[in-house]
A and B are shown apart, each in its own frame.
Chain A
Amino acid sequence: EAQVTQNPRYLITVTGKKLTVTCSQNMNHEYMSWYRQDPGLGLRQIYYSMNVEVTDKGDVPEGYKVSRKEKRNFPLILESPSPNQTSLYFCASSLKRINNEQFFGPGTRLTVL
């Protein structure tokens, strides 16, 4: 089944403890992206990747890192999480650029205490 998977789905952590949220797609998509969703603010793009080894900042990249070593995987790294990073995170992928249908993962709800 074609899908985007994220892990973990739920995570409660403490300030400053490094964490990684994994994202994987099995559709051979070139484009992958991370978003955060907060009440009243909609979806905001954190980082995106046009292809392997190519990443770029979205609208809210501060406090996040990403890597794209393989086409299928696009992990989101929080080196030193803070409470303002408590949010619902979505990974998405599309065949090529953003001018294609984006397939979203199920989401990761992160709470930073």
Chain B
Amino acid sequence: GQQVMQIPQYQHVQEGEDFTTYCNSSTTLSNIQWYKQRPGGHPVFLIQLVKSGEVKKQKRLTFQFGEAKKNSSLHITATQTTDVGTYFCAGPGYGGSQGNLIFGKGTKLSVKP
């Protein structure tokens, strides 16, 4: 079945270092969403990418959608302790279902002050 794979599973960085998480789909995606889940919290929507090659920025966060619309990345510049959490990508399920959403397993980011 369709898979959305995310790497790395864990990332430990020193505060101020950059961080990147990658998301790869086994099929072409019509769009991809990114969510952040703080420890003990619920997922919170960050952004949605729709166009091939799209790049969007939110302050220190940069999101990219691959040209083939099968991969995406989230890059955080100069991490801060407030960036701690798990970052998930999610894409529509394959096969015509308009309601099935598949999440990657997430990248858990820890930031050492």
Residues of A within 8 A of B (CB): 31, 33, 35, 40-45, 48-50, 56, 58-59, 90, 92, 97-99, 101-107
Q: Which of A33, A56, A102, A106 contacts B33 (CB 8 A)?
A: A102
A59 to B105, CA, bound (A): 14
Which B residues are in CB contact (< 8 Å) with A33?
Answer: 99, 101
Residues of B within 8 A of A56 (CB): 97, 99-100
Total contacting residues, chain B, CB less than 8 A: 27
Alpha-carbon gap, A44 to B103, bound state (A): 7
- Residues of B near A41 (CB, < 8 A) are 105
How far, in angstroms, from A42 to B98 measured CA to CA in the complex?
21
Known A33-B99, A107-B42; further 17 A-B contacts with Cβ < 8 A: A43-B103, A45-B102, A49-B99, A56-B97, A56-B100, A58-B101, A59-B1, A90-B42, A97-B98, A98-B92, A98-B100, A101-B45, A101-B48, A102-B33, A102-B45, A103-B45, A104-B44
Cβ-defined contact, B92 with A99, below 8 A:
yes
The secondary-structure label for the interface of chain A is strand
- The residue of chain B having its C-beta at the shortest distance from the C-beta of A102 within the complex is B45
CA distance A59 to B104 in the complex (A): 13
- The answer to whether the Cβ of B22 comes within 8 Å of any Cβ in the partner chain is no
User: B65 an interface residue at 8 Å Cβ cutoff?
Assistant: no
Within 8 A of A (CB), among B60-93: 88, 90, 92-93
